[in-house]
Every structure is written in C-alpha cells, then in structure tokens.
Amino acid sequence: MSGDSSQDKQLPATEQRLKKARADGQVVRSRDLGHFVVVAACLGVISAVGPSVTQRLRDLLAAALRFDAETVASPAFMAERLSSVVPDLLLLSLFLGSVVCVVSVAASLVSGGWVFTMKVMAPNFGKLNPLSGLVNILSKDKLSDTLKSCVLALLLAVVGALWMWGHRDDFVRSQSVELSAAFSEAGSQILSGLWQLVLVLALFAVIDLPLQRFLHASKLKMSHQDVKEEHKQQEGNPEIKGRLRQRMREASRRRMMAAVPTADLVVMNPTHYAVAIQYNEDSGGAPKVVAKGTDQVAMKIRDLATTSRVPVLEAPPLARALYATTELDREIPVALYSAVAQVLAHVFRLREAMAGRAPYPNSLDLVSVPPELDPADPRHNRHAARKGGTSAPTP
C-alpha cells in the first residue's frame, strides 16, 4: 500500500512532521498580508512626513527649474544641479526602502515566524521536469492563488476606476491653479485614493492568512502509513530493537554466568529454579543475588557451580522466593534474611568440616520462608493481588 496517495492523507501532521517541514523552510507565508503591510506602512510614513517632504520637493523643483543666461551657457551647470538634487532624493528613497524592508520582515514573522535554512537554496533538478511542473500548476494551492490574484486585480481596478471617475473634476481644476498648489492638491488626492486600495488589500489579507494556514496544513497531512513510518524512525525499527534486546540479554546472561564461580552457594528448586547468592562479610551488607534462572538456565547455573566447587543446596521455597523477589546484583529482602542466614550457616559449617576444623553438620532442615514470598503458595497470589502486582510462574 502506498502512503503517498492524497486520498489516504487524512490525518493532521504530527509535531515531528511540522518541525521537519519548518526545518525545510515550509512555513505559512501570506503574500497578501505582506502587500497590505508594506503599502499601508509606506502610505503611513508618507502621510506623516508628507508636508515636509512636499515642501522639500517643491523647493528642489523650484531650484531645478531656475535658469538664467549665464547658467544656460555653462555646459557643466546641469551636472552640478543634478548632483545637488541627487542626495536628497537618494535619502528619501533609502528611508522608504528601509521602511519597506522592516515591515516586510515583520509581516513574514507574523504569518510564519522566523526560519533560517539553506535547504531552499539547494538545487532541485526535479523542478525542471515539465510534467511535475504541470502538476504543480494545477495543484489546489496554485489554483487558489491564481483565482485570488485575479479577483484582487479586478477589485483594485474597479475601486481605482471608481475613485478616478469620482475625482475627475478635481484633476481638471488642478490644471488651472499654480504648479505648487496643484502639486500639493494632487498629492493629497492620490493619497486618499491609495488608502481606499489599502482597504481592499486589508480585506484580502484577512482572508488570505487563514487560507494559507489551511492549505499548509492540508499539504502536510499524513496517511496512516506515514504515521507508522515516522513512529518507526522515532522509536526505532522493532526488528532491530528486538535484536538489540536479545544481544543485551545474552550479554547480561554471560556476565551473570561469569559471576556464578564467585558465589558462596546456589539454592535450587531442585530443577526449575536456581539462585546464586554471594555474601561479603567485610562489606557489612546483606547477601545479594549474583545469578538466577529457570529451567535450562537453572541447569547451566547448577553445572557451572558444581564445576567451580560452589555448594549447591536444595531449598525449593527459598529458591522460588529469591527468584521472585530479588533482582540481579541486588541485596535480598529483609523478610528472607533468616532463611538465607540458615543456608549460609550450613554452607560455612560444611567448609569448616571439609577443612578438618569442625565435625560435619547434620542435613539441612526444611528452610521456611514467609508464604507471601513463595510463588508456589496460594497466599502469595492473594498478597500480590492486593498489592496490584503479578506473581512469578510456578512449576
């Protein structure tokens, strides 16, 4: 099943998908919002500094149009006059250009936030394919942009034509007044007309920003297969993770088997459970379990202990309790101190007897453990149920 079918992509984009798209430079951008903000900011600046700018332009125009016989006879005069006008015009252009840059960046931050990436500059030869280009032209977002641009152009043309038709008499009258007055009056009229066009741009910006967010979310929608693949990438391939867990178990088992020869005794069930106990009197701590296992692993622990001359004792309740309650390399629970001390004392007496320093002890009596710690005891299951835990398997 293909996860690329647009009909299958009905799930919203995950957080990881959104982050990846943002890293690739795919964010919400509204061109209509940018156009509105830029035009409105420029008109606002011009309206605020309009009187002083108009007066300055009037002075420049008056100075540029002042001639006499001496200046006309000098060929270098026009270059000097132009050089005196250029700094003021350049300063005005730089000021308006700076305003445009600032508001453009602000509009981008409002719509999609700050994104810095070089991936969009990487060459993509797939865009040279005419078939893929045709598909992009006929895509939902491109068609909506084309339709929206056509409607916007039509509305701007209608609003502009209606405004000019309504002010035709004012433009005719401006031809009969002084040049400076006509210049000022025409400027104010043009600004009022441009503000009406800004209102149209504002209307489209209000519509375009949610539309672009909707199209962006639709473009990033995912199928069930996409979500599964992303989950595999985040969590790791289950087969690989399974192999890693198997290797970790094998490594842990090798370390466990290597610790069996260092144990003081092995407690058996006699065949279903085996637990190797180590006790260091100098450390002052309680005995700890260095190896444990069931069935075949228990047999391997027993054989390795026999080969390493580690005593192996049959104490079924204690073996089951130790296996169920104690993790590897952890000290035994307090409730089993008495039972473990009993078997350790028996082992130490055996060692003394084998060394000829004491008589051989009697056979080990039945070692009793608290019934709630023995998985074979029915009371253990009831105790585990009350605690909300699970009991170890019983043979």
Last residue of a domain, which of 186, 206, 235? 235
Percent of the chain with pLDDT over 90: 3
> Is residue 151 a part of any domain in this protein?
yes
Q: Report pLDDT digits (tens) over 255-301.
A: 889 988 988 888 888 778 899 998 887 777 788 999 998 888 889 99
**CA 148 vs CA 34, 154, 157, 194, 256: distances in Å:** 15, 10, 14, 20, 71
> Is residue 240 a part of any domain in this protein?
no
Please check whether residue 321 is in contact with residue 379, taking contact to mean a CB–CB distance below 8 angstroms. no
Q: 277 and 154 in one domain? A: no
Q: 98 and 39 in one domain? A: yes
Q: 299 and 214 in one domain? A: no
The one-letter amino acid at 49: V
The one-letter amino acid at 247: R
**The domain containing residue 27 runs over which residues?**
15-116+130-235
0.75 exceeded by pTM: no
Q: 157 and 269 in one domain? A: no
Q: 82 and 221 in one domain? A: yes
| Residue 325 phi, psi (nearest 5) | -110, -15
**Residue at token pair 């970790």:** 248
> Is residue 153 a part of any domain in this protein?
yes
For position 276, what pLDDT does the model report? 92
> Is residue 78 a part of any domain in this protein?
yes
Q: 193 and 263 in one domain? A: no
Domain count, the chain: 2
Q: What is the CATH number of the domain that holds 311?
A: 3.40.1690.10
Q: 377 and 290 in one domain? A: yes
Q: 194: number of CA atoms within 13 Å, CB side?
A: 17
> Is residue 149 a part of any domain in this protein?
yes
What is the three-class DSSP state of 219?
Answer: helix
Give which of 315, 300, 314, 323 is closest to 394, Cα–Cα: 323
Please check whether residue 13 is in contact with residue 220, taking contact to mean a CB–CB distance below 8 angstroms. yes
Across all residues in the chain, what is the average pLDDT? 75
Q: What is the mean pLDDT of each run of 10 residues along the chain (395 residues)?
A: 55 76 72 77 74 69 65 66 72 76 73 61 63 66 77 84 79 68 69 80 81 79 78 67 82 88 86 87 82 90 89 86 88 87 83 73 72 71 50 47
> Is residue 122 a part of any domain in this protein?
no
Please check whether residue 352 is in contact with residue 358, taking contact to mean a CB–CB distance below 8 angstroms. yes
For position 3, what pLDDT does the model report? 42
Q: 295 and 221 in one domain? A: no
Last residue of a domain, which of 165, 200, 235? 235
Q: 204 and 74 in one domain? A: yes
Q: 283 and 171 in one domain? A: no
Alpha carbon of residue 124 to chain centroid: 25
Q: Report pLDDT digits (tens) over 54-74.
A: 677 667 766 666 666 666 666
Last residue of a domain, which of 202, 235, 268? 235
Q: 223 and 105 in one domain? A: yes
What is the three-class DSSP state of 294?
Answer: strand
How many Cβ atoms from other residues are within 10 Å of residue 12's Cβ? Answer: 12
For position 336, what pLDDT does the model report? 86
Q: 265 and 231 in one domain? A: no
> Is residue 251 a part of any domain in this protein?
no
